[in-house]
Structure 1
Amino acid sequence: MPSQAVLRWFASFAPHPIAVSWRERLRASLGALLGIAAMGASVHWLLGPEAVVPYLIAPMGASAVLLFGVPASPLAQPWSFIGGNLVAATLGVISAMWIGNPIVASAVALAAAIGVMFALRCIHPPSGAVALTAVLGGPAIHALGLRFVIEPVALQSAVLLGSAIVYHAVTGHRYPHVSRAAAQTPPGIAGVTRADLEAIVRERGELLAVAADDLESVVHEAQLLAYARSFSELTCEAIMSRDAVSVSSDTTAAAAWRLLERHRIKALPVVDAARRVVGIVTRTDFVGRTAFGLRGPRNKRRSLWRSADETHRVDDLMTPNVRTVDPHLPVAKLIPVFAHYGHHHIPVVDHSRRLIGMITQSDLIGGLHRQTQTQARELKTA
């Protein structure tokens, strides 16, 4: 019936559930508050109380939603934000100068801004409001001319971006967003490839607000989760490496590096006298750490680093808040720990947080593969 069709049409407007924790929502809201406050205060301090330039322009509020609320979106990345705003401001000012009718000038500015942003790969939706502000902002904005591009747009954009970078770093969030590497597809699974995803996106012919790398990673992680779900009885204890090499917090940085080299591993759990895990140190922690008594080799055949002194300790460069897992945790629940937090090495601890093993991505894939082979043999003999 027509009435039912209309109801279904209205029902389609219902928003999809947002899978974001309340903690993350609060973090985003607080970030926007601090970012806008820092931007207004900085511009006021730099330009002085007598400045004719507005301390805040409305489009920055929309940009703050992206930078703090959805920082993983390609639309919120630094180049999209800065490039989109500068492009839109420039084209808006030029349109206002050359076209007398504000409605026509607004339409031309917005259309041109979208086209150029696509060409320069800096799509940022709030930049459309920047273009309209340049045209419809009134005499004060028009009097600025091309100065509007620098003050306030470039200045406010730089301050807001700097605030976002600092805030995300302080709160332990990735920004600018670095796409996660796609999870390895276990043997025996026909994985979706990057080429498959790109072909589908091209066929759709529209912009998706997710990076191709992230999309590939999500698909592969979903495959891996579905694969692991069939092994509900497989636990972390069954796949972990039991002979985990560890160090104490007072071990020298040079000695820790020699252990990494000698055992050809990428991470060392840091334990106290009772072998309770208190941190972790990885090869990445040594990158650029010349101050820790480590310097580069003279030729490629030698070790990546060699010790120059024994004064700096592991606790100077370790990560103290290390993620650990229980040995009885099902492998299916371990996948998200690797996938969503960027971990590559996870210590396995008992109820007293004492180290009993280590799990790497290779351990995970190897364990799933061995389980597959076991199930295949059982099916043959059944």
Structure 2
Amino acid sequence: MLRKWTSLENLGGWLKTFQPAQIGADRKERLRACVGMLAGLLLTGLVTRAMLGSYAAVPMLLAPVGASAVLLFGVPASPLAQPWSIVGGNMVSALMGVICVQLLGPSIATAALATALAVAAMFLLRCLHPPGGAMALTAVLGGPLILGLAYEFVLVPVGVNSILLMLFALAYNNVTGRRYPHAAQPDHSGKHGTVDARPIDRLGFQSRDLDEVLQKYNQVLDVSRDDLESLFLQTEMHAYRRRFGEISCEDIMSKDVITAEFGTTLEEAWTLLRQHRIKALPVVDKARRVIGIVTLVDFMKNANLDVYEKFDEKLRQLLRRTRLMHSSKPEVVGQIMSKPVRTARSDLHIVELVPLLSDQGLHHIPIVNEERRLIGMVTQSDLVAALYRGRLADTDMG
């Protein structure tokens, strides 16, 4: 009896694996995808008809293109939905189908062979696109109309449909806030020309850890490697946030911020940096909105101080005011400041500053309020001190 009950439990557990997982998209995202598919397929069909008026017998929309639309508008971040995947995947699959049916004739066996060859070609050309399998089947089993097109089928209508749908997806996804194409993020691991991992990676998992796990996994993922890494990093940061509590930029920022304006002379700005022993001056307008930032590095670059010969003389020459109407060198802060400036809201959690002040190499981040007016400044030292205090508090509680 016990064995029978255990078997039923195992059967129930196995059946639960068929239960669909919840989709993480909210109603707004689902509506965005549906509207995109509606408009994309409609416009693709209409433009195809307008372009191919002389091909009256050619289908204006192919069924597999509907599957392509699901990927392009429903999961535009997927590696299977990128421009080369849809155009290359559909066209090379159609080509495999046409070659097979021309050599072997239409049959179920030919359709199966064409689909297998299409997948092999898509793997080889790095344009894996699931609707490509249906495109190969269509080329073989699409009936007399499709068979009559022969190799022309690859360009018309497959190529035309795929390119038009991809172009509309390119416009629609970006207009509605979805980055497309979803290209791989640049690798900043060698930013300083060394083999060291990025600062943000040194205490958590590293990129090479993810690469090794993916290599052992040995399956195609419907999510890009960079998105997967980003999700892991965000999860790690969320855990840090929960651990350190709700510490915002407003809690750790310096509030008495020394600033400069666009017209502040270089001599005045340099004096402020030396007098207050600081390394950066936010540049603000009359409404105290940040328009730039001037640092010691900006002075060094404009005085050519990376060449140490006549160091003092070059600096004095840069700072010295020109009494003439015209000058061949910068005279005011606005001419040497760095812009645009990365700012942070006062209510931003300090954990969100970690990648900015480590991986991106920033040393100072101006803090602004809801009206984007400057209210403070956070430095690397402020962040280190805050994280250290949070660690001590965590240790005391333990």
Normalization by structure 2: what TM-score? 0.69
- Work out the percentage of aligned pairs sharing the same amino acid: 41
1:225 maps to which of 235, 238, 250:
238
Give CA-to-partner distance per residue, 1:314-358, whole Å, 9 cap, x none.
Answer: xxxx99xx9963x245435x47998xxx9x998744355533246
| Number of the residue aligned with 1:199 | 212
The question of 1:150 aligning with 2:137 is answered no
TM superposition shift of 1:188: 7.1
The question of 1:29 aligning with 2:19 is answered no
| Number of the residue aligned with 2:251 | 238
Residues 1-382 of structure 1: pairs in structure 2 closer than 5 A: 1=5, 2-48=7-53, 51-180=56-185, 186=200, 189=203, 191-240=204-253, 243=257, 274-275=287-288, 325=345, 327-331=346-350, 334=352, 348-350=367-369, 354-357=373-376, 367-375=382-390
Question: Cα distance 1:330–1:200, how it changes in 2: closer, same or farther (>3 A)?
Answer: closer
* Distance in 2 (alpha carbons) for counterparts of 1:371 and 1:83: 51
What SS does structure 1 have at the residue aligned with 2:24? coil
TM superposition shift of 1:245: 6.6
Give CA-to-partner distance per residue, 1:4-41, whole Å, 9 cap, x none.
Answer: 32222222212222222221211111111111111001
Contact 1:91 1:109 in 2 (8 A): yes
Contact 2:94 2:136 in 1 (8 A): yes
Higher-Rg member (1/2): 2
Contact 1:82 1:158 in 2 (8 A): yes
Contact 1:239 1:367 in 2 (8 A): yes
Normalization by structure 1: what TM-score? 0.71
Question: Cα distance 1:78–1:328, how it changes in 2: closer, same or farther (>3 A)?
Answer: closer
Question: Cα distance 1:335–1:370, how it changes in 2: closer, same or farther (>3 A)?
Answer: closer
Gaps of 5+ in 2: 189-197, 264-272, 294-303, 307-327, 329-338
What SS does structure 2 have at the residue aligned with 1:356? strand
Contact 1:82 1:154 in 2 (8 A): yes
| Root mean square deviation, CA, Å | 4.3
* Distance in 1 (alpha carbons) for counterparts of 2:388 and 2:74: 44
> Which deviates further from its counterpart, 170-179 or 2-11?
2-11
Question: Aligned pairs, how many?
Answer: 329
Contact 1:44 1:55 in 2 (8 A): yes
Contact 2:106 2:141 in 1 (8 A): no
TM superposition shift of 1:97: 1.0
* Distance in 1 (alpha carbons) for counterparts of 2:391 and 2:38: 56
Q: Which amino acid aligns with 2:215?
A: R
Q: Which amino acid aligns with 1:355?
A: L
What SS does structure 2 have at the residue aligned with 1:90? helix
Contact 1:187 1:369 in 2 (8 A): no
Contact 1:232 1:331 in 2 (8 A): no
